[in-house]
A and B are shown apart, each in its own frame.
Chain A
Amino acid sequence: MNRRMIEEKLFKGLMLASLLIVLGSLGLIFLTVLKHGLPALNLAMLTQTPKGGYYLGKEGGILNAIVGSLCLAGGATIIAFLLGFPIAIYLQFYATRRRIAEVVRLTMDVLWGIPSIVYGAFAFILMLWLGVRASLLGGILALAFLELPILTRGMDEAFTMVPTALKEASYGLGATKIETAMKVVIRQTAPVILTAILLAFGRGIGDAASVLFTAGFTDRLPDSLFRPVASLPLAVFFQLATPFPAVQQRAYASALVLTALILFISILSRALANKMKKHIIR
């Protein structure tokens, strides 16, 4: 074996080791959360709101946080979709000059990179100016900023994959651009759009830094847009910060619930996308 063959083998070994490190850390995270979370998990945690003294180790559950997170992420996803969908349509159909489309896409990519804590601070300033206190509405606002670039770029990329011939066939029949977009392109890209929506929804559920000041925290179930609302990541964070081992155990269980929820959304989006793919014209 000469030197270059040794080098070949060496680097192949290093690459395999790297891949193992990456996949191993994924496995390790899941195992750790499962190992510590499962013993503390019980039905009461999923079906009850915190009772008095919950944070001292008394009974109750994190239903408030689960429902709160779903409301926050759901609302934010709806708003982000209502804004992101027109932007994706504009990029794909109406941005006649390539430079404009590039600037908008660059903006979306840059927005994607802005830390969620900055969105949280920005949304909090807007809330101060509008006179809104920490509430479901504020949390939705902050998360919508966070989700907007994810959704927009996801849909934009989906639209790009549609064959030009299909659009031209639609134009050839006399359809306008918006008709082509709403009646042909949407159907063609529905699975990918759905994936993007679920991806953004998952990101909204998992993010803590942006809802920290904007949504607040409460032991009640969400009942009004203008009241504080609990969220799952913050429930994990606050329970872990208490000095009581029993409550910390519950933080692990809450982390397990959060991880399971994210995994479920991720698998669901893949399954739905695969199932709907058969309706696409190729």
Chain B
Amino acid sequence: MQETLEQTPSKQDYRPPRFPIRFSRHNADDLAKRTTGLIALLASLLVPIIALVLLFRAWPILTSKPLQELLLGTSWHPYKGIFGFLPFIMGTLWVTILAMVITVPPSLLTAIYLAEYTPSRVRSIIKPLIDLLAGIPSVVYGVWGVLTLVPLVEHNIVPLCREHLSWIPFLNSENPTGFGVLSGGLVLAVMVFPIIISVAEEVIHVVPQGLREASLALGATHWQTTKHIVLRQALSGVAAAVVLGFSRAFGETMAVMMVVGNIPQLPRSLFDAAYPLTALIANNYGEMLSVPMYDSALLTAALILLIVVLIFNILSRLVLLRMHRYE
């Protein structure tokens, strides 16, 4: 047996010795494969881990109160054990939806302009500027909102609406300050610009050049080509860009919290103060954990945020992924 092995050292017979380990270059490669694979595996489990940890901590309140009461209750009295999330959910929705109404038209028009109408030299100047907008810390947005937008709303927009437009629902105001839904929406709108612009510009840019040329050759104008051919092709990607912007606005904390007033009520007009979910967590978590269920309630708020953002993000990323696959 031993003799045959020595005589025919064929490759099939060779097994690397288990011990002692010889650390060859190929072992190193194998080790790298295993380590990086393990880290990648752990990282891809991070999303379910975060969701489960939040769910675990939110569990006490979720099991002790009916979901209906939590989500649709309008009063919030932690000391009495009453936790109704509706004012906060509505606060978040008002601010976020208003921000999207303000931000979507200019963002998409800018994205179209950058992708279709500007030469690449101009684009290479403008895009870094828009990236800069994405890099500004949210606290700085908040400071800008407090210094510029809140006074603007308080001294210009509210008096104007009170005089001329108070018959329109949502535009009558009893809030004496400028801290409210409109200021929050405006700050968020500017914060969402760079996300929608960069994602939408990218998906518009990858529409095949031949399609444009065919349309132009048939005598369509530049805008007609853009509207009927390019945008139709890029539609799902553009929608994904808008959804990404929405979920970014949905989870934004500091900037909104600095200008939105933070009063737990159901907003009735654009000028009313609101109290978004993110601000609820930021203002209260970490302290007063001795109040029963309080910590659980705040983490329920975090869980709601996470679930909404996860759904929107996964949907839009899947759409974008599919677009890139056809590229």
Contact = CB atoms under 8 A, between A and B. Distances in A.
Given A26-B132, A87-B43, A124 B305 contact: no
A121 B54 contact: yes
Interface in B98-126: 105-107, 109-110, 112-114, 117, 126
Contacts of A18: 105-107, 109-110, 113
Interface stretch (A46-54, A55-63, A185-193, A198-206): A198-206
Given A18-B110, A25-B190, A106-B321, A86 B40 contact: yes
Contact of B321 (A23, A86, A102, A199): A102
A21 interface: yes
Interface in A21-36: 21-23, 25-26, 28-29, 32-33, 36
Contacts of B302: 117-118, 121-122
A93 B302 CA distance: 36
B135 A203 contact: yes
B139 A208 contact: yes
Interface in A124-158: 124-126, 134, 145, 148, 152
A66 interface: no
A32 B252 contact: no
Nearest to B105: A18
Contact of B37 (A94, A116, A118): A94
Nearest to A15: B113
B136 interface: yes
B281 interface: yes
Contact of B136 (A109, A213, A259, A270): A259
B214 interface: no
Contact of A109 (B130, B142, B281, B317): B317
Nearest to A16: B113
B251 interface: yes
B309 A178 contact: no
B197 A22 contact: yes
A28 B148 contact: yes
Interface residues of A, number: 85
Interface residues of B, number: 82
A212 interface: yes
Contact of B285 (A7, A15, A107, A124): A124
Ordered nearest first, which 9 A-B pairs have the shortest CB separation? A115-B251, A206-B137, A213-B286, A90-B36, A15-B113, A176-B29, A18-B106, A18-B109, A178-B32
Interface of B: 25-26, 28-29, 32-33, 35-37, 39-40, 43-44, 46-47, 50, 53-54, 57, 105-107, 109-110, 112-114, 117, 126, 128-133, 135-144, 146-148, 190, 193, 197, 221-224, 244, 247-248, 250-254, 258, 278, 281-282, 285-286, 298-299, 302, 305-306, 309-310, 312-314, 317-318, 321
26 contacts: A4-B224, A5-B221, A12-B223, A18-B107, A26-B133, A32-B143, A89-B36, A104-B44, A107-B43, A107-B46, A108-B43, A110-B313, A113-B244, A113-B309, A113-B313, A114-B313, A115-B250, A115-B309, A118-B305, A121-B281, A121-B298, A122-B302, A179-B25, A206-B136, A206-B137, A209-B138
Interface of A: 4-5, 7-8, 11-12, 14-19, 21-23, 25-26, 28-29, 32-33, 36, 83, 86-87, 89-91, 93-95, 102-104, 106-111, 113-118, 120-122, 124-126, 134, 145, 148, 152, 176-179, 181, 199, 202-203, 205-209, 212-213, 233-234, 236-237, 240, 251-252, 255, 258-259, 262-263, 266, 270
